[in-house]
Amino acid sequence: MAETQVVQLQCPNCGTQYQSPVRSVIDVGQEPRLRDAMLSGTINQTVCPNCKQAGILEVPLVYHDPAAEFLAVYFPAQLQIPELERQRMIGELTQGLMRNLPPEQRKGYFLNPRQFINRESLMDAILGTMGISQEDLDRQRKKLDFLERLTVMADDPKGLQMMIKGQDGMLDQEFFALISTRVAQAQAVGDEKAAERLTLLRESLIPVTTYGQRLARQRAAVDSLGEVTSPEQLLDKLAAADLEEATAMAVVARPLLDYAFFQALTARVDAATGAEKERLTKLRDHLVDVTQTLDEATRSQMREAAELLQHILQSPDPREALRENIAELDDVFMSVLALNMQEAEKRGAKDALERLNEVYEEIQALVQESLPPEMRLVNDLLAADYPEDTRSMLKSRRAELTPEVLSLMEELAASLAESDEPEASETAKRLRDIRAQAMLLA
């Protein structure tokens, strides 16, 4: 059985047929990032390219963590796989895993993999290998269940108020982090409806919860950075902030917290006395810790992105490797890809540059593929030569020129026209010209 297969699916919501990669072997020893993908629910997640209906494709899979000597096979209960067939598949799945391991790593626990028929139980077992206690798991599950119930009431302010009454302690930093994680997951797979609903819930909870109000103060502190025009003003802002506000501002203004900044802050510490000196010293030490944590997180993200890029370049099918890891193709990954392209060009490494360019083009194709049909049409029109090629495309795709497409063109043009970028203004004019062509045909 192959580690990754491409399967044909039909959306249960709109009936659209599409293809999606499905992974059957997850070895976090070989690819550590897969642990987070598994825990976040993005492994084998599918999203209809038409209606954006998202879901997890429940298929048998094997999960391996060599550091914890943990081997699990997952057979979703709803598949109702007969026992003999299950045993045959266990053999195929574990053999598929072992083929990619050197002999010295094939240990005794391979002979007795743990079996799961429930995804939640598998997730608990994986978290257990990470040292997370059952008490912590129960607490987080309770919050996740509460989050699911609140999400249903996201657009009902009165119902939401009733549900959260007496639950302020549960709506803490961890709970808001769960919401943000869910938003990021939904956005990563193109489930904009879920992302919008979760965002609405988060914004509704901010003014009516203790932690939300703290978060609002942090946001206000970050927004105030827009008034800063000099290093001295930045220092004034941070020196006057409490530790939570200072943390939020430091995350945004990290590039400005350089050696000169800390020299100036130390000078203020030295000039202060009494309680103020103690407060500023504590603030300086806190900012040093925050910047070090941010820098290490950035380095870790860059390392993971570089490892993912190498995995994709070494894959026999880079396009499928990109599909499998589409949730990981974020700004950090694109920065690493751009840096590698620049380095290859500087060294004159033509073959490497060509392969990197192919990866970049495949990513653009995947992005285009994930867009709604209306946006794909608009992008195709903007890429065509005006006026002859756009006129020809509009005629050949006349059936797609719905009122929604024409409205989208005008909305995009209006948004672009408000930008200060010269290119945006030119694109807005071009889009309005194309829209005028389209209205003659619609």
Residue 237 contacts residue 249 (beta carbons within 8 Å): yes
Give me the tens of pLDDT residue by residue for the chain, a chain 442 residues long. Answer: 446 778 888 888 888 888 888 888 888 888 888 888 888 777 888 878 777 777 888 888 889 998 888 989 998 888 888 888 888 888 887 877 777 777 777 787 887 888 898 888 898 899 888 888 888 888 888 998 999 999 999 989 899 999 999 999 999 988 998 898 888 777 766 677 888 999 999 999 999 999 999 999 999 999 999 888 999 999 999 999 999 999 999 998 999 999 999 999 999 999 999 999 999 999 999 999 999 999 998 998 899 899 999 989 988 888 888 887 877 888 889 999 999 999 999 999 999 999 999 999 998 888 777 677 788 888 889 889 998 999 999 999 988 888 888 888 888 888 888 877 778 888 888 899 999 998 887 6
Q: Is the peptide bond before 12 cis (omega within 30 degrees of 0)?
A: no
Query: How far is residue 17 CA from its own chain's centroid?
Result: 25
Say what angle helices 231-240 and 243-252 make with each other, to 10 degrees. Answer: 150
Q: What is the pLDDT of residue 1?
A: 43
pLDDT of residue 188: 67
Question: Largest Cα–Cα distance in the chain?
Answer: 78
pLDDT at 204: 94
Domain segments of the chain: what residues? Answer: 4-130, 136-208, 220-299, 315-369, 371-441
Q: What is the pLDDT of residue 56?
A: 84
366-to-10, 294, 322, 360, 376 alpha-carbon distances in Å: 19, 30, 8, 10, 11
CA distance 78 to 59: 10
Q: Could you tell me the two tokens for 380?
A: 């195709």
CA angle 412, 418, 423 (to 5 degrees): 80
- Report the half-sphere exposure of 10 (CA within 13 A, side-chain side): 2
Is the bond leading into 49 cis (omega within 30 degrees of zero)? no
- What is the SS3 assignment for 75? coil
